[in-house]
Copies of this chain bind each other. A is one copy, B any other.
Amino acid sequence: MPTALPRLRADAAANRARILEVAREAFAAEGLDVPMTAIAHRAGLGVATLYRRFPTKEDLVAEAFTEQLDECAGLLDAALADPDPWRAFCWMVTQLCEMQARDRGFSAAFVTASQRTTEFGALRERAERGFAELVRRAQEAGGLRRDFHPADLSLILLANGGVRAGTAELTAAASRRLVAYLLQAFRADGAAPLPRPTAVPLDAALR
């Protein structure tokens, strides 16, 4: 932190915290297009207060999601510590996709955030290198097919991000099934059982 900004007044600090809490909840449930006014109101505050703490919506989004980005970093460390590379790879993909499925704002926030500060950029780069290492090991061990490319992570997240069913539960289930299919496709060999199919109506399917 470059400049030590003056401490907030007690009530202001509490409000700020409440704003973040509400924002995280709202973004997760409804995506990033929740109006600022709505967030402020749900936090029992006026819009001005919100804008005093977070000059733009982007700032709010970035701040609201730092927690999750840290969580991602943690996941990666955990995966890299696993002695079984293929299991680590599967686990990592599963966890990431689960986070994404759980939180509608996650993907969008990731983009917003990583375009903002170099801090996020660095975090992302580190994540990419870590994942590449995970891939290398899993291929070395023979679990992961040779033609899997670390950049396929983008593909996975894009595809998984597209999965949005009616309710959160449906989305989660659909995402799990997709991940199971994908991991099956990523195996160097063999086949594995799948979770039960999720009945998403075609209507809800496309969008």
* Residues of A near any B CB (own CB < 8 A): 106-108, 110-111, 114-115, 124, 128, 145, 147, 149, 151-155, 157-165, 174, 177-178, 181-182, 184-189, 191, 193-194, 197-207
Contacts of A161 in B (CB 8 A): 162, 206-207
A145 to B186, CA, bound (A): 16
A111 touching B207 by the CB < 8 A rule? yes
Interface centre among A181, A186, A194 (most CB of B within 10 A): A181
Contacts of A174 in B (CB 8 A): 154-155, 158
A206 to B207, CA, bound (A): 15
Contacts of A145 in B (CB 8 A): 191
A106 to B204, CA, bound (A): 14
Contacts of A163 in B (CB 8 A): 155, 158-159, 162
Beyond A158-B164, A159-B178, is A151–B199 a contact (Cβ under 8 Å)? yes
In addition to A107-B206, A151-B198, A184-B184, 9 A-B residue pairs with Cβ atoms within 8 Å of each other are: A107-B207, A115-B203, A147-B194, A149-B197, A153-B202, A158-B174, A181-B185, A182-B182, A184-B185
B197 touching A158 by the CB < 8 A rule? no
Give which listed residue, B154, B200, B206, contacts A111 with CB less than 8 A: B206
A158 touching B206 by the CB < 8 A rule? yes
A47 to B200, CA, bound (A): 37
A158 touching B147 by the CB < 8 A rule? no
A154 touching B200 by the CB < 8 A rule? yes
B162 touching A160 by the CB < 8 A rule? yes
Contacts of A177 in B (CB 8 A): 152, 155
Give which listed residue, B155, B188, B189, B205, contacts A205 with CB less than 8 A: B155
Nearest first, the 7 A-B pairs at minimum CB distance are A162-B162, A149-B197, A154-B205, A159-B159, A185-B185, A107-B206, A181-B185
Q: Name the residue on B nearest A199 (C-beta).
A: B151
B154 touching A158 by the CB < 8 A rule? no
A189 to B190, CA, bound (A): 7
